[in-house]
């Protein structure tokens, strides 16, 4: 079912594009950048976000093929529409050297296994914990907010080589993390072209 865009949202995007030229971004990068900016009314995200179009393309395919979506807090999950999410924070407990948010990530990893999309918008320790696991994610949207640990955890995500959406500054939060995932959910799915005769012969 096609998503119906409310007139207020249409006008908001018109004003956004009048103030910021996003036409040079490739399609999925533009979709994520615009939706994050729209969610925060903060044009600085255009230069703060770090994205890779090829990684977004693979994540987009995985997401629309039904890959699980894991969130660090329920507020992120509440902002993600048209898809059920996994959040294990209610089941988690803190312990020596382990925050409740980090334990929730462990529990979620045990539940979903490899190939999930992870959306972290609140706790830097959740992102730090994810990086210690063999999660083999389809994508990590790592946009935790805060003055303690947020910048460092996002830098570590970029250094990990995992497919990721992150940002350089302390900014972030549940709304922008959910917006980044929603951008991939709302972006149209293109159907692959049928193989040519020569490709068919090569496979036969």
Question: Both tokens of residue 155?
Answer: 């830098």
**pLDDT tens column, 5-54:** 778 888 988 999 999 999 999 999 999 999 999 999 999 999 999 999 99
Asked if residue 201 has pLDDT above 60, the reply is no
Is the pLDDT assigned to residue 108 strictly greater than 80?
Answer: yes
Q: Which residues are catalytic?
A: 38
Kindly calculate the radius of gyration of the chain based on its CA atoms and give it in whole angstroms. Answer: 18
pLDDT in tens, 165-191: 999 999 999 999 999 999 999 998 874
Residue 22 to residues 53, 126, 187: CA-CA distances in angstroms?
A: 14, 31, 16
- 67 vs 61: CA distance, rounded Å: 9
Arithmetic mean of pLDDT, 140-149 = 96
pLDDT digits (tens, 9 = 90+) for 114-141: 999 999 999 999 999 999 999 999 999 9
Report whether pLDDT(2) > 70. no
Q: Is the model's pLDDT at 59 over the cut of 90?
A: yes
pLDDT at 50: 98
What is the model's pLDDT at position 6?
Answer: 79
Lowest mean pLDDT among 38-42, 98-102, 175-179, 197-201: 197-201
Q: Looking at the predicted structure, is the pLDDT value of residue 57 above 90? A: yes
Q: Is the pLDDT of residue 1 over 60?
A: no
pLDDT for position 41: 94
């Amino acid at each position: 079912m096609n998503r119906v865009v409310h007139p207020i949202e249409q006008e908001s995007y018109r004003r956004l594009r009048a103030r910021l030229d996003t036409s040079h971004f490739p399609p999925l990068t533009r979709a994520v950048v615009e939706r994050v900016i729209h969610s925060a009314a903060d044009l600085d995200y255009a230069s703060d976000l770090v994205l890779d179009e090829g990684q977004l393309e693979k994540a987009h395919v995985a997401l629309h093929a039904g890959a699980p979506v894991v969130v660090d807090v329920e507020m992120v999950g509440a902002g993600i529409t048209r898809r059920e999410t996994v959040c294990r924070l209610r089941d988690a407990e803190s312990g020596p050297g382990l925050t409740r948010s980090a334990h929730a990530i462990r529990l979620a990893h045990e539940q979903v296994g490899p190939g999930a999309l992870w959306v972290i918008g609140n706790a830097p320790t959740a992102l730090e914990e994810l990086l210690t696991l063999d999660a083999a994610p389809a994508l990590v949207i790592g946009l935790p907010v805060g003055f303690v640990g947020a910048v460092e955890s996002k830098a570590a995500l970029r250094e990990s080589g995992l497919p990721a959406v992150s940002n350089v500054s302390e900014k972030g939060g549940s709304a922008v993390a959910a917006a980044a995932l929603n951008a991939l959910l709302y972006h149209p799915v293109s159907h692959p072209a049928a193989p040519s005769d020569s490709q068919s012969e090569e496979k036969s």
